[in-house]
Amino acid sequence: MKKTLIIGLLVIFVLISGCTNTTTIRPAEPTPQATTPAQISTEQQINIKDFKFVPDIAEVPMGTTVTWINDDNVPHTVTSVSGSFDSGSIDPGKTYSYKFNQAGTFEYSCINHPSMPHGKVVVRG
Ligand SMILES: [Cu+2]
């Protein structure tokens, strides 16, 4: 008889706590912080070393400024195959930067060394 009472009380307790849990109003989730406005500013570096663009394919988000660094001992150029950009001569140790504001694949070469493998910048929209 006593056992039944205890079990009964336990059942009631479980029911009450169950109900309590389901009716508890959870604190509001913290509102996500507003992300930085649309202006995304990222940078990508490409080295020109041993007559190669490293990396030869750079995938970047739109709006990225790509900077080429001439790590060789001779001048190179970064010249777009489609004509959209051209660094002119980049002396050893110097850099050239170009900001990509349009999505697409931009292939470039070095005018001084036509045998150099072309590089590519792939800009995601
Ligand atoms: Cu070159």
74: tokens are 């001779």
What separation in Å is there between the alpha carbon of 103 and the centre of ligand 1? 26
Q: Alpha-carbon distance 85 to 57, whole Å?
A: 17
Residue 74 lies in a domain: yes
Tell me the residue range of the domain where 79 lies: 41-124
Task: Look at residue 22 and tell me if it is in a domain.
Answer: no
How many Cα neighbours within 13 Å face the side chain of 17?
A: 5
CB within 5 A of ion ligand 1: which residues? 76, 110, 112-113
Distance 115 CA to ligand 1 centre (A): 9
pTM: 0.69
| Residue 19 tokens, joined | 């109900």
CATH number at residue 119: 2.60.40.420
Q: What per-residue confidence (pLDDT) applies to 27?
A: 67
Q: List per-residue pLDDT tens for the chain, 125 residues long.
A: 566 654 444 444 444 455 455 555 666 766 666 554 455 569 999 999 999 999 999 999 999 999 999 999 999 999 999 999 999 999 999 999 999 999 999 999 999 999 999 999 999 99
**H or E segment to which residue 15 belongs:** helix 2-23
Residues 121 and 66: beta-carbon distance below 8 Å: yes
The three-state secondary structure class of 46 is strand
Give the integer Cα–Cα distance in Å for 43 and 113: 26
Output the CA 61–ligand 1 centroid distance in Å: 26
Tell how far the Cα of 84 is from the centroid of ligand 1, in angstroms. Answer: 18
Q: For residues 41 and 2, what is the distance between their CA atoms, to the nearest angstrom?
A: 73
